Structure 1
Amino acid sequence: MSGPLPPRPREIGRVHWMGAWTLFRRELKRYLKEALETVLAPAFQTLVYFVILVFALGPERGTPEGDALLSFALPGLVLMAVLFRAAETTAFSLLFDRMEGIIADILMAPLGAAEMTAAYALAGAISGLVTGTVVLAGAMLVWPMPVASPLTLIVFAALGALMMSLIGVLIGLGCEKWDHMAAAFVFILTPLTFLSGVFSPAEALPGSVAWIIQINPIFHAVDGFRQGFIAGAPFPVASFAMVGGTAAVLWLLCGFLIHRGYKLRP
């Protein structure tokens, strides 16, 4: 009689779905484990911004002009929370894993650059969307706004979150310590976000600044998201192409850098 057959190695195929899913799930668990900091704190911060803006209007509060300003600012503040959370999630994860040496365990797994990019980027994007949903729910309690086009809202929130999640991957790959990451957010992402029409329309700014805003993909994400609250507004195809194209380029760039082992291997 023949003995038991020796165990056969697991066949992975072109895409290691189980490995990508495991890394993706790990990143989401890391995000949800710190829900007080990653979900509730951004929601509270955004609501504080909005309440201060409400009281800063003074006598203009309750007038058509004041109401128009609040209706303009609210979508920008909500999406700003989405974008920052998505970028912070991936930047923190990659930098932490690199500094603590945990990235070696991930590199030893049979995961390709495509699976790693997808796992980190999608986990960061979803974390931004979860935070944004909480922020939007809280903001609606303070200033109810009807959603005219849920599809537009979801598309631009998802694309914007994915774009910023990939930027977070680049930050996590490029930085060497926490000070570098903080500098990237303070001196690069924060100015780009505030120069994206969050608080004022691009047309109201000086011409020397307006053209910078027009080529800023974050502006197109915010503007497209805002269109979802405007009744009768057409789907912003140009903004969709700008945000989607930027996300696609960043995805390819992140995949290339991870494939080359940029600052991942000793």
Structure 2
Amino acid sequence: MSAINWPGVWAIFHHEMTRFFRTVMQSLLSPVLSTVLYFVVFGAAIGGRIQSVEGVAYGAFIVPGLMMLTILQQSVSNASFGIYFPKFSGTIYEYLVSPVGWIEVTLGFVGAAAMKAVLIALVILLTSFFFVGVHILYPFWMLAFLVLTATGFSLLGFIIGLWAKSFEQLQIVPMMVITPLVFLGGAFYSSDMLPPFWEAVAKLNPVLYLVSGFRWSFFGLADVPVGVSLVAVSLMILACCLAIRWIFATGWRLRE
């Protein structure tokens, strides 16, 4: 196996991050406004009826869920658009004939998408301090889950961008799959609050394991064992990497 072309990785990463910082206010303003609305609706309206969940004030309880919702949406959308636009404009052939392989291209695009998502999620966390008191019990694991989840869903978004044939298709998975899974994955409630049957159904949702592990890093509370959450996100990253390797090896959807 040849050595990784790190200058090539940096060139792609730098190009994507430059595009992000050109519209940084637009990129950050929308998530911040959405967070404020979530706190007004869920924190004030629902929080007035649900004072606490497992000893944690409801306003603070939903912070990890809000961050996870942002991470999943931003990771998928940034990575999918990042690789789809070269396909749309025809410049993807420059990547295919340049001295970079699938690893460098993936690291550049996925690394930039994950970095954008993590930055926005941290802004969401800072915004939450103006509304509720949030104490992070395990800061290291909070960052670890943040980075792993952003990486996993950026890889998924990268695959979606390679698969999509139109801008409309880029929105199908984030809108019709990712967002519903987050809302049904315990982002704003604990699965222990559900009846036994629906609790079992909820545990079939892979997003539940990500939200659970991330919330554990804040409050020490988890719907599923933390080790299972780490295994789930690790398996997702591995599966996505294998899929991307196959796509570049076969040329599927790359030259269409």
> Equivalent residue for 1:165?
154
* C-alpha distance in 2 between matches for 1:157 and 1:114: 22
Deviation at 1:239, TM superposition (A): 0.8
Aligned pairs, number:
253
Counterpart amino acid of 2:4? V
> Equivalent residue for 2:112?
123
> Equivalent residue for 2:209?
220
Structure 1: give runs of 5+ residues left out of the alignment.
1-12
Deviation at 1:80, TM superposition (A): 1.1
Change (3 A) 1:58 1:175: closer
Is contact 1:217–1:246 with CA below 8 Å preserved after alignment?
no
Is contact 1:117–1:255 with CA below 8 Å preserved after alignment?
no
Is contact 1:148–1:232 with CA below 8 Å preserved after alignment?
no
Query: Which residue, 183, 188, 191 being the options, matches 1:194?
Result: 183
Is contact 2:79–2:161 with CA below 8 Å preserved after alignment?
yes
> Equivalent residue for 2:82?
93
Deviation at 1:50, TM superposition (A): 1.4
Aligned pairs for 1:1-266 within 5 A: 14-57=3-46, 59-60=48-49, 63-64=51-52, 68-207=57-196, 209-231=198-220, 236-266=226-256
* C-alpha distance in 2 between matches for 1:49 and 1:232: 22
Residue-by-residue CA offset, 1:138-188 (whole Å, 9 max, x unaligned): 111211211111011011111111111011011101111111112222211
* C-alpha distance in 2 between matches for 1:147 and 1:58: 20
- Kindly, what percent of the aligned residue pairs are identical? 26
Deviation at 1:125, TM superposition (A): 0.9
TM-score (norm 1): 0.87
Counterpart amino acid of 1:260? T
> Equivalent residue for 1:5?
none
When Rg is computed on C-alpha atoms for both structures, the one with the higher figure is 1
Deviation at 1:194, TM superposition (A): 1.5
Is contact 1:113–1:256 with CA below 8 Å preserved after alignment?
no
* C-alpha distance in 2 between matches for 1:64 and 1:209: 21
- Backbone CA RMSD of aligned residues: 2.3
Residue-by-residue CA offset, 1:44-91 (whole Å, 9 max, x unaligned): 212211122223137547x45696322221210112112211111011
* C-alpha distance in 1 between matches for 2:31 and 2:22: 15
Is contact 1:192–1:216 with CA below 8 Å preserved after alignment?
yes
SS at structure 2 position matched to 1:148: coil
* C-alpha distance in 2 between matches for 1:132 and 1:58: 22
